[in-house]
Structure 1
């Protein structure tokens, strides 16, 4: 498969899934402008290395890995806790749930350590399979299963409080 063809497939994939990519970045960096920067930088990184991808069927996990790592790089550079403002939280509201519950869930998620929050976001908000999460986070499947179990337990405790 030619480089131009795989680049076009990648651009098509990015355009079809841009909302998901933005939402994933926002779940990490908690800031609209930073999330846009993360997505833009991730696309740049991906396009510059797209010829290394052997199978376009792996665009999703491959790009999510780039997106997560770029988000974590930004957080490391910042080295500070970011408070989510109400406008960002309301952006997560689909209108089908009680807004108070959404905010409580978002606060509970924000209180999880990043490795646990990552697993929950990728599994339940991005609908990745356990195996795909393991690839994205560069961990083994059992570690992901354990983190998912622990994070759900922590969320239950936090939400009950």
Structure 2
């Protein structure tokens, strides 16, 4: 079965436009095509399978309820990512803590045991970063998003995103070097 990602941009746009008009099949299709991406993104922030699933469910619920508010169908992924990040931040604020749980890290991707320790160190270092540095780093290095896409999602200037990426990488380097 083809996913939306396999379709050309015009066809994708038409499906999102149908969803914006309330077509349930179109809404279901775009949500299904983004659910793995949403889960992985939530898990990168939360590091807990059950909480990541709950954040994804909240995100999907808010997206379905508010899809008619999406202004441009070309920015659906940006829009739903912003909803997800806001849900993660709300959850963190409500719990009053940062979750540093590393269990079930394998569900993000296959990890060879030789590199598991390095990956855990990297994920722990990313967790330590302030959100303004963490979000651009996750979006760029885990999802290959452009500076412009990150700026749209975070609602910041592109130069600010570049600064956060540079400073975030510097902070990551210091954190990882201190650990060795």
Q: Is the pair's TM-score, using the shorter chain for normalization, greater than 0.5? A: yes
Alignment partner, residue 8 of structure 2? none
TM-superposed deviation, 1:160: 2.1
Of 86, 111, 133 in structure 2, the residue corresponding to residue 69 of structure 1 is 86
Of 128, 144, 154 in structure 1, the residue corresponding to residue 145 of structure 2 is 128
TM-superposed deviation, 1:46: 0.8
Alignment partner, residue 31 of structure 1? 48
Q: Distance in 2 between matches of 1:108 and 1:151?
A: 10
- CA shift digits 1:62-83 (9 cap, x unpaired): 1101111111111110111323
Of 33, 40, 45 in structure 1, the residue corresponding to residue 57 of structure 2 is 40
Q: Structure 2: where are the runs of 5+ without partners?
A: 1-16
Q: Kindly indicate whether the alpha-carbon contact (under 8 Å) linking 2:140 and 2:146 is maintained by their aligned counterparts in 1.
A: yes
Give the secondary-structure state (helix, strand or coil) at the position aligned to 2:22: helix
TM-superposed deviation, 1:93: 4.5
Give the secondary-structure state (helix, strand or coil) at the position aligned to 2:105: helix
Summarize the Cα distance change of 1:142–1:95 in structure 2 as closer, same or farther, 3 Å threshold.
same
More contact order relative to length (CA 8 Å, sep ≥ 6): 1
Alignment partner, residue 75 of structure 2? 58
CA RMSD of aligned residues (A): 1.8
Deviates more, 1:7-16 or 1:140-149: 7-16
Using the size of structure 2 for normalisation, the TM-score is 0.80
Q: Distance in 1 between matches of 2:86 and 2:98?
A: 18
Q: Distance in 1 between matches of 2:109 and 2:72?
A: 35
TM-superposed deviation, 1:115: 1.6
Alignment partner, residue 5 of structure 2? none
Q: Structure 1: where are the runs of 5+ without partners?
A: none
> Residue 118 in 1 paired to residue 135 in 2?
yes
- CA shift digits 1:34-63 (9 cap, x unpaired): 111111111111111111223322111011
Using the size of structure 1 for normalisation, the TM-score is 0.89
- CA shift digits 1:71-121 (9 cap, x unpaired): 111111011132313x23333342357111111111111111122111111
Aligned length in residues: 159
Alignment partner, residue 111 of structure 2? 95
TM-superposed deviation, 1:157: 1.7
Q: Kindly indicate whether the alpha-carbon contact (under 8 Å) linking 2:79 and 2:153 is maintained by their aligned counterparts in 1.
A: yes
